Chain A
Amino acid sequence: MRVQKKAKKRVLAVSSSGGHWAELVRLSPAFANHDVIFVIATPKEYADAYNLSDYAKGGKIITINDANRWDKVGLIQMLIQLIRIFIQVRPDVVISTGAASGFFAVCLGKLLRAKTIWVDSIANAEQLSMSGQLAGKYADLWLTQWPHLERNVGPYYRGDVL
């Protein structure tokens, strides 16, 4: 009988810096046994600090420009950087905790037929983040971390990162 081996997948884990990043790292046991590439959107001047950090042991870290919805040029630069990463990595799975960078990543992932996962930040206790609302359409697994924000059509509640 042939022994079935679970093939390693290429996982792209994308988020902005700060809380989003902390939450993504907290989720990493769920995908740590695959080939993981972390992408962090951080202001350029701080990028080196993340490259040197011990946060995501074993995983490769790529830093990209940070931008939010008030900075259209920055958003386009970020999207271009992400497209390049997607061409190189060809991920099987894309996971994000937010924000704008993660939304783009989940869209690109869906477009390229990767499995996509959006975990809306625990910071969004009253309503989903703007990127979280938009990401629902593109995420195969769409989660909120607050039970009162769960709906029949998603997002779903499956506990939180604490």
Chain B
Amino acid sequence: MIFLTVGSQLPFERLVRVVDEWAAVNNQKVQAQIGKSQYQPKYIKGVDFIQPRQYDKLFKKARVVIAHAGTGVIMNALELQKPIIVMPRQEKFLEHRNDHQMATAIRFKELLGVYVAMNEEELGNWLGKINELKGGYKIQPYASGKILEAITELINA
């Protein structure tokens, strides 16, 4: 099973459409959280919002996660060492208020296990190789080191 999520705040039809068309041709089972989307996928199982507990279950079960380039979902994938394909939202398509996801995608690209597609074509390429994708860089469930020390220091000062 492949899990697709675009978060819960905004739809991301460009991403959902490509995955839907790919799932149709390749007969892939995809479960998806697609937000309040005009485009309703035909071949993947998409709902507006998935409760956090169910979301966690699907996330863990999925062989690969496909998502917008949101830090929450990327960190979740790194924690579980789950391969993740991400495509950034773009302001020019009215997919977000600014282009910060482009910057996020470029920066996170360096981490093993994060497969970045800057556009639909690159997304298609990763989908074509989906069976070869592997998890990589692992993070712990909580932050550590300097950043926690800086916060603790101020709180106790």
Q: Which residue of A is nearest B76, CB measured? A: A22
Residues of B close to A52: CB separation below 8 A = 51-53
- Segment among A81-89, A101-109, A119-127 that sits at the interface with chain B: A119-127
Distance in angstroms between the alpha carbons of A159 and B142 in the assembled complex: 13
A161 at the interface (CB under 8 A from B): yes
Q: Which residues does chain B contribute within 8 Å of A66, judged by CB atoms?
A: 9
Instruction: Given A46-B49, A53-B53, check contact A30 B148 (CB 8 Å).
Output: yes
Contact digits for B94-128, partner A, Cβ 8 Å, 1 yes 0 no = 00010011011011000000000000000000000
Which chain A residue lies CB-closest to B69?
A: A123
Interface size for B (C-beta < 8 A) is 38
Contact of B151 with A117 in the complex, beta carbons under 8 Å: yes
User: Is B24's CB within 8 Å of the partner chain A?
Assistant: no
Query: Number of A interface residues, CB 8 Å?
Result: 54
Q: Which of B71, B73, B101, B145 has the most CB of A within 10 A?
A: B71
Q: Are A123's CB and B51's CB within 8 A?
A: no
Chain A residues with CB below 8 A from B83, complex form: none
A sample of 15 more A-B contacts (CB under 8 A), given A26-B142, A119-B147, A125-B106, is A19-B72, A22-B71, A26-B75, A28-B142, A31-B155, A46-B8, A49-B49, A93-B155, A119-B151, A122-B71, A123-B104, A156-B150, A159-B147, A159-B150, A161-B147
